[in-house]
């Protein structure tokens, strides 16, 4: 049997040692004497070769030859080969949570370095060791604020990813926390509307940077205003944008979270991804998730341990900061390897390439008859255009032409049925962008 090394002789001698005549007697002694269930619906085992062939054939049914301008929070970026190679070192891959620090310094130091990298990106003081994804991280940030302020009301901008808002609504459904959604409008008025929605009983304000429409805003005045009312300012950020953008920490945010998929993780049809979370030292003890700290041994050698564990569920049980147990450690390591391999200059260059190509693509699209700009706010690498037709229909036509054209906003914002959210990453060449614009023109006039 694959992966089970016990031979018949091994089984015999072990059964003898535990004083059982056969496996059935062993089961009986463990208290399990129910009849064996039929497993007729489970197919017979197959060889590695056959299973691989089957899965290859399934993989081939998926279209991966589309030239993609689809983002909406999850992006198709270049991943240097060294990144996945580093993360697939089996000593990292096949270890578990570093409960025994002396046998886990490799994992622990990489988490510490990951925490440093997240702090440097976001401009914050302390990061946890990662969370499931951007949506769970934002929800956990809301709960952090609820604990820190002892208030049970949260204000969230309608320009936060609808995927994240759905998740937060779902998790919040049994918790006594009032979630107030402020519809997204144009930048200045919606920031004022957010400030107005925050009252003295509000635990936090949750916003996104850049927002779901790609728009980048200066939040400094808003964070100051809501903090003045006693609320915690939380922002979910797109990490690649932070190559160029003022870090959220400098804009006065108390907690910064985000989806880290862009940091070297393949899209993989939805996961595993990486939620990151960073905050101030003042709020560190309210933060969920594992945290690694630097310390010393008896000979004064530096080393790393899991720390501030009294927040966690295995000690605090129902009073824990969260039920979250494992993090997405391998994904955090991947992100660290990505940031290391790109390095200071490479990461900056990725940001510059994305931003410039997005401007180029937008200009070409706006030159098409009937395609209009939506707002004129600053953006990083994702923007909205209004089409002379239904955006979902156009996306269908573009798929036939070999392009994933973007995300039709009507799915989440019914009044915006003609608007298309277009993302451009450093992967798209000038030729591909031109071909995209040409195909779009043809699809619209078809």
Partner 1 sequence: MKLIFEKGAPGRKGSSLPDLDVPAETALPENLEREEPPNLPEVSELEAVRHFTRLSRLNFGVDSHFYPLGSCTMKYNPKFHEKIASLYGFAALHPLLPQLRRGGALTQGALAVIFETERLLSFLLGFEQFTMQPLAGAHGELTGVMLIAAYHKDRGDDARKTMLIPDAAHGTNPASAAMAGFDTKIVPTDKDGNVDIEILKSLLGPDTAGIMLTCPNTLGFFDPNTKEICELVEKAGGLSYCDGANLNAIIGRIRPGDLGFDVMHVNLHKTFSTPHGGGGPGSGPVGVAGKLVPYLPVSRVAKRQDGTYALEYNHKKSIGYIAPFYGNFAVVLRAYAYMLTLGAEGLRRVGENAVLNANYVRVKLAGKYEQARDRFCTHECVLSATRQAEKGVHAIDIAKALIDKGFHPPTIYFPLIVKEALMIEPTETESKEEIDAFIDAMLEIAETAENDPDAVRNAPVTTPVSRLDETKAARHPKVSE
Per CB under 8 A, contacts with partner 1 among 171-200 are 171, 173-176
Q: Pairing state of beta strands 255-259 and 275-279?
A: antiparallel
Instruction: Let me know: does 53 contact 389? Beta carbons within 8 Å.
Output: no
In this chain, which stretch among 26-34, 185-193, 195-203, 230-238 interacts with partner 1, using CB under 8 A?
26-34
Tokens 């985000």, located at residue: 258
Instruction: Let me know: does 409 contact 215? Beta carbons within 8 Å.
Output: no
Nearer to partner 1, 200 or 376 (CB): 376
In the complex, least distance from residue 446 CB atom to partner 1, rounded to whole angstroms: 14
Q: What is the crossing angle of helices 329-366 and 105-122, to 10°? A: 30
State both tokens at 286: 């309210």
Rounded to 5 degrees, φ, ψ at 233 are -95, 120
Strand 372-373: give its sheet, edge to edge: 372-373, 382-386, 419-423, 407-408
Residue from 417, 328, 346, 393 nearest 131 by CA:
328
Give just the sign of the alpha carbon dihedral 38, 43, 48, 51. Answer: negative
In the complex, least distance from residue 243 CB atom to partner 1, rounded to whole angstroms: 6
Q: Is position 320 an interface residue for partner 1 (rule: CB under 8 A)?
A: yes
Site for partner 1 in 410-429 (CB under 8 A): 411, 426, 429
Instruction: Let me know: does 15 contact 23? Beta carbons within 8 Å.
Output: yes
Contact string 138-157 vs partner 1 (x = CB under 8 A): --------------------
Q: Is position 134 an interface residue for partner 1 (rule: CB under 8 A)?
A: yes
In the complex, least distance from residue 149 CB atom to partner 1, rounded to whole angstroms: 19
In the complex, least distance from residue 200 CB atom to partner 1, rounded to whole angstroms: 25
In this chain, which stretch among 183-191, 194-202, 226-234, 326-334 interacts with partner 1, using CB under 8 A?
326-334
Instruction: Let me know: does 426 contact 71? Beta carbons within 8 Å.
Output: no
Q: Is position 126 an interface residue for partner 1 (rule: CB under 8 A)?
A: yes
Of 151, 286, 290, 416, the one binding partner 1 (CB under 8 A) is 290
Site for partner 1 in 224-263 (CB under 8 A): 242-247, 259
Compute the C-alpha angle 27/32/33, nearest 5°. Answer: 90
Nearer to partner 1, 216 or 368 (CB): 216
Q: Is position 30 an interface residue for partner 1 (rule: CB under 8 A)?
A: yes
Q: Quote the DSSP letter at residue 103.
A: G
In the complex, least distance from residue 386 CB atom to partner 1, rounded to whole angstroms: 17
Neighbour tally for 49: CB within 10 Å: 8
In the complex, least distance from residue 14 CB atom to partner 1, rounded to whole angstroms: 4
Of 186, 188, 196, 297, the one binding partner 1 (CB under 8 A) is 297
Of 21, 200, 318, 414, the one binding partner 1 (CB under 8 A) is 318
Residue from 411, 76, 20 nearest 264 by CA:
76
In this chain, which stretch among 48-56, 183-191, 194-202, 225-233 interacts with partner 1, using CB under 8 A?
48-56
Q: Quote the DSSP letter at residue 351.
A: H
Nearer to partner 1, 230 or 389 (CB): 389
Strand 204-209: give its sheet, edge to edge: 126-127, 275-279, 255-259, 232-237, 204-209, 153-157, 178-182
Contact string 56-85 vs partner 1 (x = CB under 8 A): xxxxxxxxx-x-x-x-xxx-x-x-x-x-xx
Nearer to partner 1, 82 or 442 (CB): 82
In the complex, least distance from residue 441 CB atom to partner 1, rounded to whole angstroms: 19
Tokens 């107005």, located at residue: 196
Q: Is position 310 an interface residue for partner 1 (rule: CB under 8 A)?
A: yes
Q: Is position 446 an interface residue for partner 1 (rule: CB under 8 A)?
A: no
What is the spatial distance between Cα 59 and Cα 53, in angstroms, rounded to a whole number?
A: 10
In this chain, which stretch among 149-157, 186-194, 225-233, 337-345 interacts with partner 1, using CB under 8 A?
337-345
What does the chain come to in residues? 446
What is the spatial distance between Cα 63 and Cα 262, in angstroms, rounded to a whole number?
A: 20
Q: Is position 92 an interface residue for partner 1 (rule: CB under 8 A)?
A: yes
Helix, strand, or coil (residue 278): strand
What is the spatial distance between Cα 181 and Cα 159, in angstroms, rounded to a whole number?
A: 10
Instruction: Let me know: does 126 contact 287? Beta carbons within 8 Å.
Output: yes
Of 170, 367, 442, 446, the one binding partner 1 (CB under 8 A) is 170
Q: Is position 330 an interface residue for partner 1 (rule: CB under 8 A)?
A: yes
Of 8, 37, 200, 415, the one binding partner 1 (CB under 8 A) is 37
In the complex, least distance from residue 117 CB atom to partner 1, rounded to whole angstroms: 7
Tokens 């049994």, located at residue: 174
Nearer to partner 1, 136 or 223 (CB): 136
Q: Is position 344 an interface residue for partner 1 (rule: CB under 8 A)?
A: yes
Tell me, by CB under 8 A, how many residues bind partner 1. 209
In this chain, which stretch among 24-32, 191-199, 225-233, 436-444 interacts with partner 1, using CB under 8 A?
24-32
């Amino acid at each position: 049997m694959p992966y089970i090394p016990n031979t018949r002789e091994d089984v015999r001698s072990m059964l003898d040692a535990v004083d059982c005549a056969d496996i059935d007697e062993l089961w009986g002694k463990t208290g399990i004497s129910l009849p064996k269930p039929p497993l007729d619906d489970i197919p017979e085992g197959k060889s590695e070769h056959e299973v691989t062939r089957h899965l290859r054939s399934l993989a081939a049914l998926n279209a991966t030859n589309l030239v993609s301008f689809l983002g909406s929070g999850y992006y198709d970026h270049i991943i240097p080969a060294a990144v996945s190679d580093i993360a697939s070192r089996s000593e990292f891959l096949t270890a578990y949570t570093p409960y025994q620090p002396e046998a886990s310094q490799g994992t622990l130091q990489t988490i510490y370095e990951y925490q440093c990298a997240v702090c440097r990106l976001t401009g914050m003081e302390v990061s946890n060791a990662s969370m499931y994804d951007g949506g769970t991280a934002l929800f956990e940030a809301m709960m952090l604020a609820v604990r820190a302020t002892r208030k049970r009301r949260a204000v969230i901008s309608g320009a936060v990813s609808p995927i994240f808002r759905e998740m937060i609504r779902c998790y919040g459904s049994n918790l006594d926390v009032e979630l107030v959604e402020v519809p997204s409008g144009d930048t200045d008025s919606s920031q004022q509307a957010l400030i107005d929605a925050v009252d003295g009983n509000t635990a936090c304000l949750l916003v996104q940077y850049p927002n779901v429409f790609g728009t980048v805003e200066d939040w400094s005045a808003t964070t100051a205003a809501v903090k003045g009312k006693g609320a915690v300012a939380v922002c979910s950020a797109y990490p690649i944008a932070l190559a160029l953008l003022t870090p959220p920490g400098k804009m006065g945010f108390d907690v910064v979270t985000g989806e880290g998929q862009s940091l070297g993780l393949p899209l993989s049809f939805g996961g595993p991804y990486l939620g990151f979370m960073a905050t101030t030292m003042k709020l560190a003890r309210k933060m969920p998730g594992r945290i690694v700290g630097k310390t010393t041994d008896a000979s004064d050698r530096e080393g790393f341990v899991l720390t501030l564990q009294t927040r966690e569920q295995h000690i605090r049980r129902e009073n824990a900061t969260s039920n979250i147990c494992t993090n997405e450690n391998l994904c955090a390591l991947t992100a660290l390897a990505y940031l290391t391999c790109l390095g200071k200059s490479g990461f900056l260059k990725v940001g510059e390439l994305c931003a410039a190509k997005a401007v180029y693509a937008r200009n070409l699209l706006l030159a098409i008859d009937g395609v209009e700009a939506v707002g004129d706010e600053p953006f990083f690498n994702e923007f909205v255009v209004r089409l002379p037709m239904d955006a979902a229909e156009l996306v269908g036509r573009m798929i036939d032409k070999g392009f994933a054209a973007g995300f039709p906003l009507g799915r989440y914002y019914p009044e915006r049925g003609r608007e298309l959210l277009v993302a451009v990453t450093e992967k798209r060449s000038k030729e591909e962008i031109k071909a995209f614009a040409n195909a779009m023109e043809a699809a619209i006039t078809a």
